Chain A
Amino acid sequence: MTTFEPEIVALCCNWCSYAGADLAGVSRIQYPPNVRILRVMCSGRVEVGHIIRALEMGADGVLVTGCHPGDCHYISGNEQAEKAIAATKEILTVLGMEDRLSLEWISAAEGQRFGQVMTDFVERIRALGPNPMKEAKVSRGNPGDVPGRLEDLVDRTGVMYCLECGKCEATCPITRMEIAYSPMLIVEEALRDLPEELEADKGLWNCITCGLCSHRCPSGVDFLEFVRQAREVETSSCDRCAHGGVFHALAGIMANEAVSQPGRLDWVEDGMEVAEKGELLYFTGCLPYFEPVLWDVDVHPAGALGSTVRVMNHAGIVPVVMADERCCGHDLVWSGQSGTAFAELARLNVEAIKATGARRVVFTCPEGLRTFAKDYPRVLGEDAIDFELLHITQLFAELIEEGRLELPEGTDEAVPLTIQDPCRLGRHMGIVDAPRKVLDSLPGYELREMEHHGLNAHCCGTSSWLNCGTFSKRIQVERMTQAEDAGADLLVTACPKCFSHFNCTLNEPGSDDTPPKPAVEIVDISVLLSKTLGLEGGGDR
Chain B
Amino acid sequence: MRHDEEPRIGVFVCHCGSNIGGWLDVPAVAEYAGTLPYVVHSEDNLYTCAEDGLAAIRKAIKEQDLNRVIVASCTPRTHEPLFQATCEEAGLNRYLFEFVNIRDQCSWIHMSEWDAATEKAKELVRMGVAKATRLVPLDRSTAPVELVAMVLGGGITGMTAARAIANSGFEVYLVERRSVLGGLLNRLHKIWPTEESPRQLLDGLEADLEANERVHILTGTEMVDLKGFVGNFDVTLMPVEGNGDGLDLKVGTIIVATGADEMKPDGLYGYGEVEGVVTELELETMLREGNLPEIGNAVFIQCTGARGQRVTYCSRVCCMTGIKNAMELRELYPEASINVLYRDIMAYGISYEELYQRARVKGVGFIRHPKEEPPRVETGPDGKVRVTYRDVILGRDIVQDVDLVVLSTPLVQHEDAKELAQMLRVPLGQDRFFFEAHVKLRPIDFASDGIFLAGTAHGPKDIEESIVQALGAASRSLTFLKAGQVLSEPIVAVVDEDSCIGCGNCIEVCPYGAIELKEGGKRGQVAEVNPGLCKGCGTCPGACPSSSIQQLGFTDEQILAMITALANGGD
Contact = CB atoms under 8 A, between A and B. Distances in A.
Interface in A441-486: 468-474
A41 B554 contact: yes
Given A19-B77, A73-B425, A514-B504, A24 B109 contact: yes
A471 B427 CA distance: 46
A57 B542 contact: no
Nearest to B511: A75
26 contacts: A9-B563, A15-B447, A15-B448, A19-B77, A26-B108, A33-B106, A41-B537, A41-B554, A44-B542, A45-B551, A48-B542, A49-B560, A57-B566, A74-B537, A77-B537, A80-B542, A80-B543, A468-B546, A470-B500, A470-B521, A509-B503, A510-B525, A511-B504, A511-B517, A514-B517, A514-B525
A36 B127 contact: yes
A295 to B, nearest CB: 10
Contact size range, A? 35 or more
Given A25-B108, A509-B505, A59 B566 contact: yes
A510 B425 contact: no
A33 B113 contact: yes
4 A-B pairs with the lowest CB-CB distances in the bound complex, closest first: A25-B104, A45-B538, A44-B539, A57-B567
Contact of A80 (B499, B509, B522, B523): B509
B536 interface: yes
Contacts of A84: 542
B505 A508 contact: yes
Contacts of B110: 30, 33
Interface in A77-119: 77, 80, 84, 107-110, 112, 115
A49 B504 contact: no
Contact size range, B? 35 or more
Contacts, number: 226
A501 B393 CA distance: 84
B103 A108 contact: no
A189 B430 CA distance: 66
Interface in A11-44: 14-16, 18-19, 21-22, 24-26, 28-31, 33, 36-42, 44
Interface string A493-505: 0000000000011
B564 interface: yes
A347 interface: no
Contact of A469 (B108, B546, B562, B564): B546
B427 A107 contact: yes
A45 B106 CA distance: 24
Given A22-B77, A25-B105, A36-B123, A45 B554 contact: yes
A341 to B, nearest CB: 16
Given A177-B522, A473-B502, 12 more contacts: A15-B448, A25-B105, A49-B560, A50-B563, A57-B563, A73-B425, A77-B537, A84-B542, A109-B428, A470-B522, A472-B501, A511-B504
A297 B447 contact: no
Given A109-B427, A109-B429, A59 B508 contact: no
Interface string B528-571: 00000001111101111111000100101001101110111000
A9 B105 CA distance: 13
A74 B427 contact: no
Given A470-B501, A472-B501, A509 B538 contact: no
A280 B547 CA distance: 40
B556 A244 contact: yes
A7 interface: yes
B556 A49 contact: yes
Nearest to A111: B430
B495 interface: no
Contacts of B108: 25-26, 28
A126 to B, nearest CB: 14
B117 A41 contact: no
B76 interface: yes
Contacts of B504: 508-511, 514
A298 to B, nearest CB: 9
A53 B565 CA distance: 12
A28 B111 contact: yes
A313 interface: no
B176 to A, nearest CB: 25
A72 interface: yes
A77 B511 contact: yes
Given A110-B430, A508-B503, A470 B523 contact: yes
Given A470-B521, A509-B507, A36 B537 contact: no
B391 interface: no
B516 interface: yes
A497 to B, nearest CB: 13
Contacts of A505: 503
Interface string B418-455: 00011001011110000101110000000110000000
A513 interface: yes
A7 B541 contact: no
B202 interface: no
Nearest to B527: A511
Name the residue in B502, B503, B554 with the highest tally of chain A Cβ atoms < 10 Å from its Cβ: B503
B84 interface: no
Contacts of B545: 242-243, 296-297, 468, 504
Contacts of B507: 509, 511
